[in-house]
Amino acid sequence: MHRFPVFPIALWLVSGAVEAQMQMPQIELTAGFYRIVAEVAADDPSRAQGLMQRRAMAENRGMLFVFDKAARHCMWMRNTLLPLSVAFLDEQGRILNIENMQPLTEDNHCAAKEASYALEMNRGWFAGKGIKPGGRIAGIEKIGRRQ
């Protein structure tokens, strides 16, 4: 009877998960003088996946959801392990509202007005930096939008 080590299989699975995360494009944004590196979720599969199953996210890292059209979009935390804050943004990157979200919940957190983007960061990131509704996330203009 042959015994196969589990380690190489586990390493292969982990490297595959990391590779899948790394395939998502990134964009550099700013909020005031704070630099943000955000993964860009701009299609249905990446928006559906979001930050699900992630166990950690570095400081000043996040995920920018790019919606096909402005609407009162909502977010939830199904299968999302991290506590997050989401800022809903208009076409110019102006923050409409910020919502704090609890992990593994299905509560809807919705844009106060029609939003073109949503930026998820670690919970409390916006408040900790003094960033509030009415502020602007710069760099949004670099996103190529489908019309």
pLDDT digits (tens, 9 = 90+) for 37-57: 999 999 999 999 999 999 999
Q: Where are the beta strands (DSSP E) in the chain?
A: 26-31, 34-41, 61-71, 74-75, 84-89, 95-101, 109-110, 115-122, 137-138
69-78 residues labelled b (16+ CB within 10 A) or e (exposed): eeeebebebe
The predicted pLDDT at position 137 comes to: 98
Q: Is 138 exposed, middle or buried (0-12, 13-18, 19+ CB in 10 A)?
A: middle
Residue 37, φ and ψ in degrees, nearest 5? -110, 115
Q: Of the ranges 16-25, 34-43, 116-125, which one carries the lowest mean pLDDT score?
A: 16-25
Q: Is residue 3 very low, low, confident or very high in pLDDT (cuts 50, 70, 90)? A: very low
pLDDT digits (tens, 9 = 90+) for 63-105: 999 999 999 999 999 999 999 999 999 999 999 999 999 999 9
Round to whole Å and give the CA distance between 136 and 30: 8
The predicted pLDDT at position 145 comes to: 56
* Residue ranges of domains in the chain, CATH in brackets: 25-142 (2.60.120.1140)
